[in-house]
Structure 1
Amino acid sequence: MNYQPDFLIIGAMKCATSTLHDQLAMQPGIFMTELKEPNFFSNDEQYSKGMDWYLSQFQAANERDICGESSTHYTKLPTYPQTVERIYQQFPKIKLIYIMRHPIDRLVSQYIHEWSQKTVSGDINQAISQYPMLVEYSLYSMQLKPYLETFGREQILPVFFERLLNYKQEEFERICHFINYQKNPVWIEENDVQNASLKRLRDSQLRDLIVETPGLKEIRQNLIPKSWRNWVRSLWQMKEKPQIEPQRLQFLQSVFDEDLAIVGSWLGVELTCENFKSKVKNRMFGWTNQEDSN
């Protein structure tokens, strides 16, 4: 039995990592952990459970399965500074998949997620000032650099959300080839790239009790008019997509342009916030031959 991972999807958050996890899990001969986001190597609380607990997540795999897991906390510097070292200590030859997305789109998507989970408050402009992680997790060169320095280019596959969205099968084949999958992978359209943040619903036990709890469906339908249930749901819903103020947006673009210039130098392409989507959508990218840490 193969009780250890052959590859990790290390991020980034809000870049279709869950969708890729599910697509890989549906391929015969690939085993993905049932627990999504085990975050074992990043979160101290998880890491304290020990390697036996972590390896037990792979015990249901068949003997020849290629095994993997996805944990976006693995690219959340500086929040989890020990992640890379911990992974390398246990699995120095492991393959790593990192998905990137337009940094501002990713930031907005994360804000919606954090808002729905009540981990941030205020509008997006306040949150950007109050919660540095929203910007930091979109600084792809900062997140990638320690992995490149520790594991080298050959063990890391750069993937772009925008290309995965537009060329699903082609990108999926590239990902499966990278993890040494020998069969013909098929992207299942029924389990396509989804954006869970579109609901923009904030967590609320009261709302769930009134309009969501499955066991109370009959009671709700008989006693609570649908119009009233919709009104209750709307109280916890973000009405519109968050809008970043022009001055703050300009600042973010300058920050991300500087970071993207580094990522682009690693990939042999000029990347900016303005050209990001058109550049990454239309071709596959691999690392250039220059030094990893540049």
Structure 2
Amino acid sequence: MGIINFYCLGAQKAGTSTLHDLLKNHPDIFLPEIKEAAFYQDEKFYPKGRDWYLERYFSNRSKEKIVGSVSPEFLFYPWVPKRIKNEFGIDIKFIIILRNPLLRAISHYNMSKTRDLEKRDFFSALKGNPDMSDFFSLKHFSYRQRSLYSEQIERYLDLFPKENFLFFTFEEFVKNQQNVVDRITKFLGISKMTLQKRMHSNQAFDYKIPFLQILIWKFPYLYFSIKRIFPKNVRKILALLFRRKVKSKFKINDQFIYSTLIEEHFSKDIKKTEDLTGLTLNYWFNNQQTDETNVSVN
């Protein structure tokens, strides 16, 4: 019914940028140059139709055996699973990476702060409920909602066979990238890929010129155009000129505060997510923060 074989659905801020960059190196996999190829979730694009989507993102496919996309937004929006089924049937495979829900929400919040979108303190922002009819708020301020995984997963399991899903965690990915990649290649039915070194993509940074930062995140095609035009050594020089590490990121170091937030917002959902996925997630109840320098947090 189509050429799409798999989607990596997210979650957002759970290492999907690194996974995208790793899988692009496999000779049997075709991925669009642009990660998060927008279509199903966005009313600006979905009405353009399936042919437009395939032409825009997948027209450069050559002899790769399978075709997919890493698109974390597809997990969150309620209307996406049915649209995928309508366009490509039920044979698509899905990869879902889950991250400690509170730490995912904090990473999401820090991203919004870096982009100068968020003015609230974290505790107020976590309790907020974005208007479901406001796409901008839903996209940028859904800190808690995106970390409630069970309902998002259930929407897919209601429409697609459970054997079509591979679940693992961000924490597993950080600990052993090779093991996770081996599981993915087996799941997709393609040859193994030996990693030459650990990869970490898209580490947190902001821009020395605020206007440039706003321009980049509002128009991601500009970023990918720069990647196509300039060789890697030139891009490194540009990064040194215009980027800087984020100096002040919000963290929770107090175990009591951490435990209170987990219990109040996420504990029931963690247990339900365990039942749905078969993953062991009890370590999420402890404040064991993963070293984010090892892997992308996007």
Q: Same fold (TM over 0.5)?
A: yes
Aligned 8 A contact 1:5 1:66 in 2: yes
Contact 1:8 1:69 in 2 (8 A): yes
Please give the residue correspondences for 1:168-207 in structure 2 after superposition, counting only pairs within 5 Å. Answer: 168-181=177-190, 183-189=191-197, 192-194=199-201, 196-197=203-204, 199=205, 204-205=210-211
Deviation larger for 117-126 or 144-153: 117-126
Q: Distance in 1 between matches of 2:212 and 2:66?
A: 43
Structure 1 residues 188 and 140, CA gap change in structure 2 (3 angstroms): farther
State the match for 1:284 in structure 2: none
1:260-292 CA distance string (max 9 Å, x none): 1011123164636325969xxxxxxxxxxxxxx
C-alpha RMSD of the superposition: 3.2
1:174–1:208 CA distance, 2 compared to 1 (3 A): closer
Deviations 1:231-251 (A, max 9, x none): x988xx854321458658613
Deviations for 1:187-212, whole angstroms, at most 9, x for unmatched residues? 2426x134622x35587127899xxx
Task: Give the structure 2 partner of residue 273 of structure 1.
Answer: 284
**Unaligned runs of at least 5 residues, structure 2:** 131-141, 216-225, 227-240, 290-298
Change (3 A) 1:239 1:273: same
- In the alignment, is the contact (CA less than 8 A) between 1:257 and 1:271 conserved in 2? no
**1:32 maps to which residue?**
31
SS in 2 for 1:125: helix
Larger RCO of the pair (alpha carbons < 8 Å, separation 6+) = 2
Contact 1:10 1:72 (8 Å CA) reproduced = yes
Task: Describe the SS at the equivalent of 1:41.
Answer: coil
Shift in Å at residue 96 of structure 1? 0.6
SS at match of 1:68: strand
Highest CA radius of gyration, 1 or 2?
1
Work out the percentage of aligned pairs sharing the same amino acid. Answer: 29
For structure 1, the 5+ residue unaligned runs are: 215-229, 279-294
Deviation at residue 143 of structure 1 after TM alignment: 1.2
Partner SS for 1:158? strand
Pick from 52, 76, 79 the counterpart of residue 82 of structure 1.
79
Question: Structure 1 residue runs of 4+, over 4 Å off?
Answer: 200-203, 206-209, 244-249, 275-278
What is the SS of the residue equivalent to 2:44? helix
2:149 aligned residue: 140
Which amino acid is the alignment partner of residue 196 of structure 1?
Q
Whichever residue aligns with residue 285 of structure 2, its letter is E
Partner of 2:119: 121
* Structure 1 residues 127 and 165: alpha-carbon distance in aligned structure 2, compared to 1, 3 A threshold: same
- Give the match for residue 58 of structure 2: 58
Q: Alpha carbons of 1:100 and 1:268: their partners in 2 closer, same or farther (altered >3 Å)?
A: closer
1:38 Cα deviation after fit: 1.3
Q: Secondary structure at the match of 1:189?
A: coil
Q: Do the aligned partners of residues 201 and 62 (structure 1) sit closer, same or farther apart at CA in structure 2, a change above 3 Å counting?
A: same
Q: TM-score, normalised by structure 1?
A: 0.74
| Cα displacement (A) at 1:253 | 3.2
Check 1:272–1:255 CA distance in 2 against 1; reply closer, same or farther (3 A cut). Answer: farther
Aligned residues: 250
Contact 2:17 2:202 in 1 (8 A): no
Equivalent residue of 2:34, what SS? coil
